[in-house]
Structure 1
Amino acid sequence: MGRLLLVLFLGNVAILEQVLAQFGGGGFADSDDCNFCEDGWTGVIAYGKCYKITTEKMTWWNALLECKSLGGELATILSNNENDYISSVLLAPSEENFGFWFGANDIDNAFNFVWPSESPVSFTDWAPNQPDNHGGIEHCLMRWKTYDWKWNDYQCQKQLPSVCQKRIRSDRNDRERIIRCHPKYSRLSGLLSRG
């Protein structure tokens, strides 16, 4: 039962996010053994993702290719908690950039945003009066510092830094490491050790 729960958690962000909320959040002990991401990437196991800001400014298309060359993709945002994490931890420290590329676009059908996987965008956090497809040429998602990192549709050919993501490094044998690394997992530990 314990192994099945962990596999479900590692494979289903929504379930793990609910469990982490119930058991005290997503903070981890400060240890190299607790780093589930490669050097230069940061992540939260609740989202099953590692994130990396690429500071070089490039078009949305080139950002898409850059993230692929790093073994990932332009970041997707699937929940309010993930959106808040990205805003406060990844984007807020940025002084010189007014926006970052993310993976959603409506290139094929205006106002019908999809992620690079072609899955529809279900969670959104648009800035006021956005998306607006201003001038009929704004089709790519960027997060906008001007509006407290809210979402904006923007011209894909503009040059911005971007946020990439890749799956977190984990396997089915990570149960003990997850429990050890998360300081508030005592109740979760009991659930996972059953069976």
Structure 2
Amino acid sequence: MKPLTFLLLLSIFVFGVDLKPENRRNKRKTKEYHLYTTRVNWTEAVKQCESKGMELVSILSRDENNALISSIKEAGQGKIGFWTSANRIEEGDTYYWNNGEKVTFTDWERGKPDKRIKGGEEEQCIEIKGFNTLKWNDNFCSHKLYYICEI
């Protein structure tokens, strides 16, 4: 039986100011998020988003994070975690988003990241943790979770 996929569409307007003198006007960037409730590992989540013409979500600010958490709750989700694109697969101790930006904003669960190692695998990918915690957690990239794509 094919797993049921839940899709939630959310548009968020993110405002930023470029401080360069020639660019000192407000810029508006719209992001569209899609929540998928098919459980896949991190690599498969990246591939699934790309196959849909999107990217696995990058959360660059508290406003974006809060909007995503609210949307997860409004959709009646939160028991199972959601993959983000943040990882440290190639960068040792530093987390990066798939777009190459260093992770600067975080919303870690208390005591995280803890970089556990189990069976030779180290926690290197960031999820929005389930169990209705909805804080960030480092997890094994092979673990199967839901995922969020963005355009």
2:11 alignment partner AA: G
Aligned residues: 128
Aligned pair partner of 1:153 in 138, 141, 145: 138
Aligned pair partner of 1:44 in 12, 24, 29: 12
2:91 alignment partner AA: N
Q: Scaled by the length of structure 1, what TM-score is found?
A: 0.60
Cα distance between partner residues in 2 of 1:91 and 1:74: 19
What runs of 5+ residues in structure 1 fail to find an aligned partner? 1-38, 167-195
Q: 1:91 offset after TM fit, Å? A: 4.5
Using the aligned pairs only, state the percent identity.
Answer: 30
More off after superposition, 129-138 vs 68-77: 129-138
Post-superposition Cα deviations, 1:135-161, rounded to whole Å, max 9, x if no partner, equal 161001101133631100100011111
Kept in 2, the 8 Å contact 1:74–1:103? The answer is yes
Aligned counterpart, 1:115: 97
Aligned counterpart, 1:28: none
Aligned counterpart, 1:163: 148
Aligned counterpart, 2:60: 78
Closer/same/farther in 2, CA of residues 73 and 95 from structure 1, 3 Å limit: closer
SS of the aligned residue for 1:67 comes to helix
Aligned counterpart, 1:104: 86
Cα distance between partner residues in 2 of 1:71 and 1:103: 15
Kept in 1, the 8 Å contact 2:78–2:130? The answer is no
The list of structure 1 runs, each at least 4 consecutive aligned residues, that deviate by more than 2 angstroms after superposition, is 90-98, 145-148
Q: Scaled by the length of structure 2, what TM-score is found?
A: 0.77
Larger Rg: 1
1:41 alignment partner AA: L
